[in-house]
């Protein structure tokens, strides 16, 4: 368990962790992203670690909310000084605080009214980037834009149009990408400027509005793990269904439907299979609760109480989602048996992830019987991760899976 404090400095918010025992894993980018996620985690612009450093009061380590190492952040700097003094009580002389950050040594001071004064590094470079004046403060690049009326200036919209970096060398580009913030200020409203911190806020608002909007429109069931005890409500129906083109259907006169947003991924997969001389056909797609019950009923009659072990039950909810299909090939047909020995199955194992599909119940899984024909759409990013890490969807923590929901149809 990680003990943390939540801080904000002029609107930038941070998770601050006392890491003097070095127990926080700064390389676990997934964990960092999750902690900083505003819906699934604590929510923050970044994580700040306080660590020991000989000859200084402490060391500040700033990690961006995407897991990359951050540059020096003035708002975060004041927060960590507050944390060191008021929470950890490790500051020897509140009038003369010395700490070190990625850009070098900093001095800070606790003022009489309890506020914190922080000395930043001098501006190290002045120039032009993105056709705008540019200054490098410590390690953080800022673009400057002069505007007439700050109050009415569409900061988010204009800020969004300024590239994060200019393509120079790959090295410069990478550095700039992780560090560049866009800073806009008005020469006419110098007074207001003092109170408005646009740094990061622009980035944050931009991404948050998009993220919230997208998340609110994304069906949370699409990446849910189902089991014998947790399954879809009988009233659940996918937001929209589309017919699978007839050329890919095993039984020519059968109508098979799939989630509309998954259709192009499925047809791309099937075309690619075709181009590689694979004879892949779809034998089942979306199945309503009613259809499922009939199927399960049939199995129950034939196999009694052991029916749960059979396929009608295990793929149940996933077929009701509309994002899942059962494949077959001519040599196997409707029997399914032997599908795992076909070259089509091998091809699916190596290629389905490129189109966002994964095998739900692979060989040797701990949940259900092996179903080599049953593939579920989970989005390209998650499917690729599972493929690269050789992991099963059902073995992954639901919280980690949820982080991929936002990009499921990208």
Q: Where do contacts with Zn ion occur on this chain (CB under 5 A)?
A: 315, 326, 374
Of 64, 70, 199, nearest to 142 by C-alpha is 199
The full DSSP string for 6-54 is EEEETTEEEEEEE-TT--S-TT-HHHHHHHH-TTTSS--SEEEEEE--T
Choice between 255 and 276, CB closer to Zn ion: 255
Of 163, 197, 194, nearest to 180 by C-alpha is 163
Half-sphere exposure of residue 157: CA atoms within 13 angstroms, side-chain side: 3
Choice between 315 and 379, CB closer to Zn ion: 315
CA distance 18 to 226: 38
Choice between 85 and 374, CB closer to Zn ion: 374
> Closest approach of Cβ 360 to Zn ion, in Å?
8
Choice between 129 and 374, CB closer to Zn ion: 374
> Closest approach of Cβ 357 to Zn ion, in Å?
12
> Closest approach of Cβ 89 to Zn ion, in Å?
60
> Closest approach of Cβ 99 to Zn ion, in Å?
58
CA distance 382 to 400: 10
Distances 72 to 88, 172, 214 between C-alpha atoms, Å = 21, 18, 31
Q: Which two tokens stand for residue 329?
A: 């090939």
> Closest approach of Cβ 375 to Zn ion, in Å?
8
Strands (E), 69-196: 97-101, 104-110, 116-118, 123-129, 132-137, 140-143, 146-147, 181-182, 185-186
Q: Is the dihedral of CA 176, 177, 181, 187 positive or negative?
A: positive
DSSP β-ladder status, 146-147 and 181-182: unpaired
Of 336, 340, 306, 302, nearest to 228 by C-alpha is 306
Choice between 199 and 326, CB closer to Zn ion: 326
Q: Are 82 and 100 in contact (CB under 8 A)?
A: no
Q: Which residue is nearest to Zn ion (CB)?
A: 315
Q: Which two tokens stand for residue 336?
A: 């399914």
Choice between 9 and 315, CB closer to Zn ion: 315
> Closest approach of Cβ 326 to Zn ion, in Å?
4
> Closest approach of Cβ 248 to Zn ion, in Å?
16
> Closest approach of Cβ 39 to Zn ion, in Å?
30
Choice between 67 and 356, CB closer to Zn ion: 356
Choice between 181 and 320, CB closer to Zn ion: 320
């Amino acid at each position: 368990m990680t003990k943390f404090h939540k801080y904000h400095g002029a609107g930038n918010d941070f998770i601050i962790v006392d890491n003097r025992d070095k127990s926080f894993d700064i390389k676990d980018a997934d964990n960092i992203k999750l902690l900083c996620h505003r819906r699934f985690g604590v929510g923050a612009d970044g994580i700040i670690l306080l660590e020991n450093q000989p000859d200084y009061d402490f060391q500040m380590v700033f990690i961006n909310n995407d897991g990359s190492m951050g540059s020096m952040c003035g708002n975060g700097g004041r927060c960590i000084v507050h944390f060191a003094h008021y929470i950890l009580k490790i500051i020897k002389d509140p009038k003369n605080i010395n700490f070190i950050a990625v850009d070098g040594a900093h001095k800070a001071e606790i003022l009489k009214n309890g506020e914190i004064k922080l000395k930043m590094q001098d501006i190290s470079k002045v120039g032009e980037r993105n056709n705008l004046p540019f200054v490098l403060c410590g390690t953080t690049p800022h673009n400057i834009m002069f505007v007439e009326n700050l109050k009415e200036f569409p900061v988010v919209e204009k800020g969004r149009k300024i590239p994060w970096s200019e393509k120079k060398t790959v090295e410069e580009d990478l550095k700039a990408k992780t560090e560049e913030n866009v800073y806009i200020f008005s020469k006419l409203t110098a007074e207001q400027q003092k109170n408005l911190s646009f740094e990061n806020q622009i980035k944050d608002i931009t991404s948050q509005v998009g993220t919230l909007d997208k998340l609110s429109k994304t069906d949370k069931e699409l990446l849910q793990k189902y089991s014998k005890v947790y399954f879809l409500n009988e009233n659940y129906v996918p937001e929209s269904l589309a017919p699978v083109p007839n050329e890919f259907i095993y039984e020519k006169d059968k109508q098979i439907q799939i989630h509309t947003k998954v259709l192009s991924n499925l047809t791309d997969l099937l075309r690619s299979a075709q181009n590689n001389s694979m004879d892949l056909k779809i034998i089942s797609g979306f199945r309503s609760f009613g259809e499922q019950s009939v199927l399960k009923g049939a199995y129950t009659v034939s196999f009694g109480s052991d029916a749960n072990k059979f396929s009608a039950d295990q793929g149940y909810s996933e077929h009701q989602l509309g994002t899942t299909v059962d494949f077959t090939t001519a040599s196997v047909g409707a029997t399914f048996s032997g599908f795992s020995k076909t070259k089509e199955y091998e091809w699916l194992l190596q290629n389905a992830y490129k189109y966002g599909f994964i095998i739900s119940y692979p060989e040797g899984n701990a949940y259900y019987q092996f179903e080599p024909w049953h593939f579920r759409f989970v989005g390209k990013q998650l499917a690729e991760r599972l493929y690269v890490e050789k992991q099963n969807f059902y073995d992954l923590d639901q919280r980690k899976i949820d982080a991929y929901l936002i990009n499921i149809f990208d």
